[in-house]
Amino acid sequence: MMIRKRVLLLSPPTVNGSMIIKDQYCSNTSKAGYYWIPVDLLVLSGDLSDHFELKVLDAIVEKKSLEEVVKEVRDFTPDHIVVLSSILTHHSDRALIADLKKDLSFKTTFIGDVFYFSPKQMIEFSEVDSIIYEYPCPQLVRYIQEGTAESNIVYKTEEKVIYTPAVKETEVKYSTPRHELFPVKRYSVPFMMEKLCTSVLTNFGCKFSCNYCPGSSVNYRERSVEDIISELTHIKSLGINNVWIRDFTFALNKERSIKLLAELTPLKVNWFCLSRSEILEESLLQQMKDSGCYLIMVGVDTINEAAMKQIKRQQNTNELKAKIEQIENKGIFVLSHMIIGLPGDRYRDMIRTIHYLNSSKASFLSINLFAPRTGSAYFNEINIHSEEASNLDSYYGEQASGLQRFFYLMIKNYGMILFYSNPRRLLGIISRIKTRTQLKILLRTGIKMFIPQPKN
């Protein structure tokens, strides 16, 4: 009988125990202590568990110390470690791997924002044996087994670095992810309705061209409806009825979305997603509502025409406000997103966007600070070598001075207070809350949103 290799999916602990979220080609500090299941590792788990003895160690959400992680990895003695890393954490992540390699023999595959977008720079680090281009990555199975790959992986041999071609298929297939291997009970999302909530992807990448978002730089691909329903059925069998559809933009393919929603309805899953107002037609919204959708995140970012042109975001602000009202009238919450400090935005433009959103029918508002994320037009690869990367974190944002950060935080707090001090809005939210868990998490998130964290 052939002994199966042991593979570890690892999200290493962060410096000072900070809650840094790192998946979907992004990384940032959690604004209110929430931390969701890392979908990059999740997607890989199905294919890998089919061929290897698989263990998941999410040290961040499990609040494990560096010493505890080292002991757990040594006890498992993996043949291969898949490391979920990021521009914000790769220095400490690589240091951990270097320490483990002193007395363990294993190969590594690194994934995460900076590894995807800057593989030539990242493969040069000695702790990095390979990097995958896209996930899912069935090619990773052969690489772990044989040490070679035909596509989708950058890897080292004793002589050189091999750059295999990227994959370009438009439909992807992978085995049903092993949600049960992850510490699902520990994950929390601000808008979850139940005690257990997990994530599902129906498509990868985005067809829109916003140049500040890494999603526009990711190859757009889709899953079959059959595979999505199979995963959702598995999730239901685990006793999980709350799902976040993690697509950058849900419902980009209208025909496929209609078919998916028809098959999703009988499963009676409560779910939420992120999408664009211009693709959410009324008939589609009704079908989303009927299938269990209770919240849609809609990016607004700014209403300043000059800034929108600079960041290549196209939207009609009049139509956007009408669409938000239409969604809310369907009984679906709207979470509107705004970004402070976008290129081309002045202070008064940010205030105008805040008042625009306050006058909309949206139930919720999230405000982030602009940061030049990897994969965007504003990222400078010189930052790869800097261990002080907080200016790349949308929690702290990129500011030229401490005074500018002060103004940004004042504008952010003004926007949040103005938006949530509306009694009618608050009563509307409370009247539509369906579970005690939903109320508890909303209250906890709301309180923490107004308590800024210091830079580590």
DSSP string, 344-393: T--HHHHHHHHHHHHTS--SEEEEEE----TTSTT--GGGGG-S--GGG-
Q: Greatest CA separation found in the chain?
A: 70
Domain containing 295 equals 189-448
1: in domain: no
Token readout for 266 is: 């009988």
Q: Which residue, 145, 163, 181, sits at the end of a domain? A: 163
pLDDT of 262 = 97
Question: CA-to-CA distance for 127 and 395, rounded, in angstroms?
Answer: 28
Type of residue found at 118: S
Nearest Cα to Cα of residue 132 among 25, 233, 275: 25
The answer to whether residue 180 sits within a structural domain is no
Report yes or no: 177 and 223 within 8 Å, Cβ to Cβ: no
Residues 145 and 206 in one domain: no
Same domain, 193 and 157: no
CATH of the domain at 222: 3.20.20.70
Sign of CA dihedral 436, 437, 438, 444: positive
Distances (CA, A) of 256 to 169, 260, 412: 17, 6, 38
Peptide bond into 38 cis (omega under 30): no
Among residues 129, 163, 197, the one where a domain terminates is 163
133 shares a domain with 263 = no
Of the three residues 95, 129, 163, the one that is the final residue of a domain is 163
Q: From CA 51, how far away is CA 144, in angstroms rounded?
A: 10
In terms of domains, do 131 and 265 share one? no
Verify that 279 and 145 share a domain, yes or no: no
Could you tell me if residue 454 is inside a domain?
Answer: no
**Which phi and psi (to 5°) does residue 138 adopt?**
-60, -25
Find the CATH number of the domain harbouring 103: 3.40.50.10330
In the chain, the number of structural domains is 2
> Does 213 reside within a domain?
yes
Dist. CA 80–CA 52, nearest whole Å? 10
Backbone angles phi, psi at 376, to 5 degrees: -95, 170
235 and 281 part of one domain: yes
Q: Is the residue at 156 inside a domain?
A: yes
Q: Please indicate, yes or no, whether residues 193 and 305 belong to a single structural domain of this protein.
A: yes
The verdict on 28 and 138 lying in the same domain is: yes
Domain assignment of residue 181, yes or no: no
List, in order, residues 6 or more apart from 150 with CB less than 8 Å away.
Answer: 139, 142, 164
- Nearest Cα to 105, choosing from 132, 73, 131? 73
Instruction: Establish if 455 belongs to a structural domain.
Output: no
Structural domain includes residue 456: no
Nearest to 320 by CA among 364, 354, 280, 355: 280
Residue 345, token pair as written in the block: 């935005």
| CA neighbours closer than 13 Å in the CB half-sphere of residue 455 | 14
DSSP 79: S
219 and 125 in a common domain? no
Q: How far apart are CA 378 and CA 184, in angstroms?
A: 35
For residues 204 and 157, membership in a common domain is answered with: no
- Contacts of range 416-424, beta carbons closer than 8 Å, 24 or more positions apart: 416/365, 416/367, 416/449, 416/450, 418/354, 418/355, 418/358, 419/354, 419/357, 419/358, 419/365, 420/365, 420/446, 422/358
Which of 373, 337, 354, 453 is closest to 412 using CA atoms?
354
Q: Residue for token digits 């949040």?
A: 416
How far is 26 from 214, CA to CA, in rounded Å? 7
Same domain, 247 and 316: yes
What is the rounded end-to-end Cα distance, in angstroms, of the chain? 50
**d(C-alpha 265, C-alpha 280), whole Å:** 18
Residue pair 143/155 in contact by the 8 Å Cβ criterion: yes
One digit per residue, pLDDT tens: the chain, 456 residues? 568 999 999 999 998 888 999 999 999 999 888 999 999 999 999 999 999 999 999 999 999 999 999 999 999 999 999 999 999 999 999 999 999 999 999 999 999 999 999 999 999 999 999 999 999 999 999 999 999 999 999 999 999 999 999 988 889 999 999 999 999 999 999 899 999 999 999 999 999 989 999 998 898 999 999 999 999 999 999 999 999 999 999 999 999 999 999 999 999 999 999 999 999 999 999 999 999 999 999 999 999 999 999 999 989 988 999 999 999 999 999 999 999 999 999 999 999 999 999 999 999 999 999 999 999 999 988 889 888 777 888 888 887 788 998 999 999 999 999 999 999 999 999 999 989 888 888 888 877 776 655 555
Helix (H, G, I), strand (E, B) or coil at 271: strand
Domain identity same for 193 and 159: no
| CA dihedral of 10, 4, 119, 220, whole degrees rounded to 10 | -90
Q: What is the pTM of this model?
A: 0.95
How many helices (H) and strands (E) the chain has is answered by: 15, 18
